[in-house]
Amino acid sequence: MCGAKAGGPDLAGVDVANETIIQGSVTRNDEPVNGYVRLLDENGEFTAEVPTSATGQFRFFARPGKWTLRALVPGATVDRQVVATQGEFTEVAIAV
């Protein structure tokens, strides 16, 4: 399941050692922002999109490697490059 649940990321039942997880939050002036986050591969091709939760959080399960996160919120689009590793969280804070 993609997307973080409202109230915080819940990983109950997820074998984190066998997953590659990219998660984080989108904020403006330190306040959560409602919008979408896209996951683009190393060639800039669209892979997935999730809405942010009420607290601005998002989550993707992906393969290890280089990715671009694109936050799409009213009045702003921000890209952030990340490198994800299996068995580790890639935690990303995106300020717009």
Number of domains in the chain: 1
**71, 80 Cβ separation under 8 angstroms:** yes
Phi, psi (rounded to 5 degrees) for 42: -65, -15
3, part of any domain: no
Distance (Å, whole) CA 96 – CA 76 = 6
pTM: predicted TM-score of the whole model, two decimal places? 0.84
State which residues form the domain around 30. 20-95
75, part of any domain: yes
Q: What is the pLDDT of residue 10?
A: 64
Spans of the chain, pLDDT less than 50: 1, 3-8
60, part of any domain: yes
> What CATH number does the domain containing 32 carry?
2.60.40.10
**10, 23 Cβ separation under 8 angstroms:** no
55, part of any domain: yes
14, part of any domain: no
8, part of any domain: no
